[in-house]
Amino acid sequence: RDVFIGLIGFGEGMKWPRYYTSNNNVNIEGGDINHMTFSNVREALISFQDAKEDKISYKKLKYLRQRLDVELGTFKVTDAYEAAIRYPFRAAAAKVVVGLISLPCEKSPLSPFSFQDYRLFLGRDVYNQLGLTYYHVSPLKDLEVSGKPQKNVIGFDKEYAYTFADSKKKPLEGNAELKSNLALAGADVCAVFAVNTGGAAFSTHNFLEAKPNQQAQYIKVAARRIAENLATVEIDEDCVCGIEVADGYAVELISRPHCKVVNRHDKSRHKPKA
């Protein structure tokens, strides 16, 4: 199998993102990653109303700092995203980044005229140039149709919504009508980014609420959506060998290919029905 899986961890307790190994191998081939630990400490988000009612200005300052973080992207997850796009992928390989995030990516209140929108635009351009597709796995608690929560929805992409029942369908089909009526009440800009790169967003909230057999169906559908994307993407790249500073605690120069996509062909995952 010509499949290589790298694992990057991040969190508030880490100065830099970490690359994890399995049996001393950076290619994760299964099994438990026993040395992976994360802090449970999370900074509470300050709402505009909380800041407005604050008498001593502490919450006002915290609110302003949090809004500035949203605009500039000064989060640990941003460092992890940058590490992922700098990962040493093989030239001409079909490439995906899967982000497993415990909190939604907050949308700037200044959108569509925010620095965040500009950063997302640049990010999509980088993904296009590198031939990357992004998949977002996060709570997504607010998946609704006509205001009603949809607990059977696993995730969605630009054209289709996927449910537990899709685990029995080959090839993976999805539901276009359900997607056209599906709404994400709480804006998660990372989910939107995933869809815009040709990927999909999946709800961990519905996974945790599901029964064990449904959780197995969830994993099957999400894995097939990602695998089918990898199998249907053909990429042509122009590459040159370059020297750069390696990520890590020590300064190290490494050589690696610098590639740019010159042609990308996405074969249809769905056969037209007669």
Q: Cα–Cα distance between 39 and 1 in angstroms, integer?
A: 35
Provide the pLDDT for residue 236: 87
**Given this model, what pLDDT does residue 13 score?**
79
Question: Is the confidence at residue 189, as pLDDT, over 70?
Answer: yes
Average pLDDT, the chain: 86
Banded pLDDT at 245 (limits 50, 70, 90): low
More confident of the two residues 49 and 218: 218
The whole-number pLDDT of residue 247 equals 58
pLDDT at position 125: 94
Candidate from 195-204, 231-240, 261-270 with smallest mean pLDDT? 261-270
Per-domain residue ranges for the chain? 7-30+73-266
Considering only residues 205 and 90, tell me which one the structure prediction assigns the higher pLDDT. Answer: 205
Whether residue 272 has pLDDT greater than 50: no
Backbone angles phi, psi at 228, to 5 degrees: -65, -35
pLDDT of 253 strictly over 70: no
- Digit-coded pLDDT (tens) for 80-89: 999 999 888 8
Confidence class of residue 248 from pLDDT cuts 50, 70 and 90?
low
Cα 209 to Cα 141, 203, 205, 218: the distances in Å are 11, 10, 6, 11
Q: Quick check: 274 pLDDT over 50?
A: no
In the chain, the percentage of residues whose pLDDT exceeds 70 is 90
Greater pLDDT, 153 or 13: 153
Residue 72 and residue 59 in contact, taking contact as beta carbons nearer than 8 Å:
no
Q: Which two tokens stand for residue 88?
A: 């040493």
Can you give the pLDDT at residue 252? 64
> For residues 29 and 15, what is the distance between their CA atoms, to the nearest angstrom?
27
54: left (phi over 0), alpha (psi -120 to 50) or beta: beta
Q: Which helix (H) or strand (E) element contains residue 240?
A: strand 233-245
Residue 223 has a pLDDT of 94
